[in-house]
Amino acid sequence: LNKICPERQLGMLSNFWRRRRLLGSFLVAAFSLYICWAIYALAYTSYVAENPLPEIVVEPPLAKYARVNSRLSINPDSAAKANANIKKASPQQERKKSMFHLDVRNPPSLPDGHVSLNVPHNELRKVPWCDKIDLSSPVSAQELRFLSIHPNDKDVLTYSAYYDRREKSGRPVVRAVGIALAGRANGLLCQLWYRRYADVMAAVPASVEVVPEGNGRRYDSVLLSCENRAPDGEAPYAVSFARSACAQPNGIHSVRPLPAEPVGNGRIAVCITPLNLHYDKVDELVQTFELNRLFGADWFFVYNHTTSERMTKMLANEQFARDLTILPFHPPVKVHVWPLPPGYTEDVKYYAQMAMLQDCIMRASADFEFAVFTDMDEVIVPRSAGFNNWRDLIRTKMPDLGTGGLSFQNTFYRLEWPSDPQIAANATIAGLKLSALLKLRREAVIYSHGSRSKMIVRPHFVRVMGVHNVWRYFSGSTASVDFNTAGMHHYRSWEGGGEKSFVQDPVMLRYREQLVARALRARTVLGLPVS
């Protein structure tokens, strides 16, 4: 080799191979970096798609406020004027600011549908453990509407949330009421928001409880339970739901606290199934409300899907509706319609009635010892001597806390059957259109408990409420009331169908004078004719 290649030539050849190896190593390293960058870019794009950040145009204080809740709207002109009037803070003042507090001096008014969460604007806090996302404590919530976890995601829709301390064996939980597609609530996270807790927000797994009686529809009613893990037991003031811990919340609920012990005030609330199909039965409404008031109702929770214009005005009448809470209830899915179009299938059972029942149980338990569950064409009537109202029944049939509910048997008073001729001859009763007094024929069939029956319950002890029964109690059980003692009178027309045999039943005449006086007063207040 030395003869063929002198030493100089051998050195040059060695350098050539060394440079070639270095070039190869460089190319391999460059290719590896390119592959790593491509993988990172793909992962980051996927992450941003799932966790979009609100668009940030400017950075003065009001723009920071906008990022606290991307659902708040700010008028750009008013924001610019407000920012122009804010003096720039000195470097010393800037250093004094907490790194987790936002400086908001002129917060905008809240958009429609939002309620304030009473968070002082100088105490807004960023979530310290969400490093890559500007996530801050919410200042407002949306009430009385179904909220999705993402603008394009209707798999889970939540209506309300409560801080539930009724279960003695476990920790308090935030319990939310909603509807969900089968299996799609699994893996959901609760974002629990705190006023004092240093972490600002805790993301905990949502425990999903599917409410029975979904009847095979696409959506089930669900209860989402979120365990409170604040070290000092602080109750969260708001809750949102998301697929990832630091996702920007799309919908925020205020958390309504429930008492740890049952309310012992003896007061009775009535929960009314959602009014629907542009409900316009004014005569029925007056009769039902006045009968319930006569028998002991202190308050009504009326869930409203759709009502007619005149019915809406009636429900807003300050004198007639003095004891009503009207709760808009509009699940944004396909609901029952009539007449039924060919091939139409509702997405959720009867206007999400099962979710409404769970909401009313918890809503009533905050302020009422008892709750009554009926529809607008039904009323629970004391029938036996010695029982003149619901409180008489409660004292006798629910003597202690071991009885969580009373079940009342149903029978139908058919509206298409002839009115009692003697009662119909009374011009006042006929003019008031009081079917409870005019229709004294009922079907011979009395339904068994659990079939079309309705209930009076102690809401504090009910875990899951059903249409005709209690599915689960925290404690207690159901007692059955014989129809001769008290029963559920159901005033409905079957348009020629149903049971043919009937029984003459004059029990309602016991309440004739009281009902007539109440109906006269109510119709006068509402401006309705009495003849």
Query: What is the tens place of the pLDDT at every residue in 25-52?
Result: 777 777 777 787 777 666 655 554 554 4
Query: What is the tens place of the pLDDT at every residue in 424-461?
Result: 999 999 999 999 999 999 999 999 999 999 999 999 99
In total, how many domains does the chain have? 3
Question: Could you tell me the CA-to-CA distances from 314 to 282, 317, 516 in Å, in that order?
Answer: 8, 5, 19
H-run or E-run covering 386: none
Rounded to whole angstroms, the Cα distance separating 387 from 370 reads 17
Question: Could you tell me the CA-to-CA distances from 211 to 147, 246, 463, 464 in Å, in that order?
Answer: 19, 29, 10, 7
Residue 351: the pLDDT is: 98
Provide DSSP, 420-440. PHHHHT-HHHHHHT-HHHH--
Percentage with pLDDT > 70 across the chain: 81
Provide DSSP, 100-117. TB---SSPPPPPTTEEE-
Report whether the peptide linkage leading into residue 151 is cis, meaning its omega lies within 30 degrees of zero: no
In the structure encoding, which two tokens stand for residue 261, read together?
A: 């012990």
Rounded to whole angstroms, the Cα distance separating 464 from 175 reads 12
How many helices and strands (H and E) does the chain possess?
Answer: 12, 26
Residues 215 and 297 in one domain: no
Q: Is the pLDDT score of 324 beyond 90?
A: yes
- On whether residue 379 sits in a domain, the answer given is yes
Query: What is the tens place of the pLDDT at every residue in 491-528?
Result: 999 876 777 899 999 999 999 999 999 999 999 999 99
Please give the mean pLDDT across all residues of the chain: 86
Residue 480: the pLDDT is: 98
pTM, whole model, 2 decimals?
0.79
Residues 297 and 399 in one domain: yes
- On whether residue 366 sits in a domain, the answer given is yes
Q: Is the pLDDT score of 101 beyond 50?
A: no
Question: Could you tell me the CA-to-CA distances from 288 to 284, 313, 378 in Å, in that order?
Answer: 6, 17, 7
Amino acid at 372: V
CATH number of residue 158's parent domain: 2.60.40
Residue 15: the pLDDT is: 62
Residues 90 and 163 in one domain: no
Query: What is the tens place of the pLDDT at every residue in 286-314?
Result: 999 999 999 999 999 999 999 999 999 99
Residue 515: the pLDDT is: 99
Q: What Rg, from alpha-carbon coordinates, does the chain have?
A: 32
Question: Could you tell me the CA-to-CA distances from 304 to 162, 253, 378 in Å, in that order?
Answer: 21, 20, 17
Choose one of 220, 237, 257: the last residue of a domain: 257
Q: What is the mean pLDDT of residues 131-139?
A: 90
Q: Is the pLDDT score of 102 beyond 50?
A: no
Query: What is the tens place of the pLDDT at every residue in 376-396?
Result: 999 999 999 999 999 999 999
Residues 146 and 212 in one domain: yes
Residue 85: the pLDDT is: 41
Q: Is the pLDDT score of 134 beyond 50?
A: yes
Amino acid at 260: A
Residues 281 and 241 in one domain: no
φ, ψ for residue 30 (rounded to 5)? -65, -40
Residues 251 and 272 in one domain: no
- On whether residue 52 sits in a domain, the answer given is no
In the structure encoding, which two tokens stand for residue 255, read together?
A: 């958390």
Percentage with pLDDT > 90 across the chain: 73
Residues 106 and 204 in one domain: no
Residues 436 and 295 in one domain: yes
- On whether residue 168 sits in a domain, the answer given is yes
Q: What is the mean pLDDT of residues 197-222?
A: 97
Instruction: Assign 3-class secondary structure to 116-174.
Output: ECCCCHHHCEECCCCCCCCCECCCEEECCCCEEEECCEEEEEEEEEEEECCCCCCCCEE
- On whether residue 134 sits in a domain, the answer given is no
Residues 392 and 483 in one domain: yes
Provide DSSP, 173-187. EEEEEEEEETTTTTT
Instruction: Assign 3-class secondary structure to 406-417.
Output: EEECEEEEECCC
Domain of residue 100: give its range: 61-112
- On whether residue 287 sits in a domain, the answer given is yes
Rounded to whole angstroms, the Cα distance separating 306 from 326 reads 12
Residues 402 and 376 in one domain: yes
In the structure encoding, which two tokens stand for residue 38, read together?
A: 């491509």
In the structure encoding, which two tokens stand for residue 236, read together?
A: 């969260």
Residues 196 and 314 in one domain: no
Amino acid at 402: G
Q: What is the mean pLDDT of residues 402-418?
A: 97
- On whether residue 91 sits in a domain, the answer given is yes
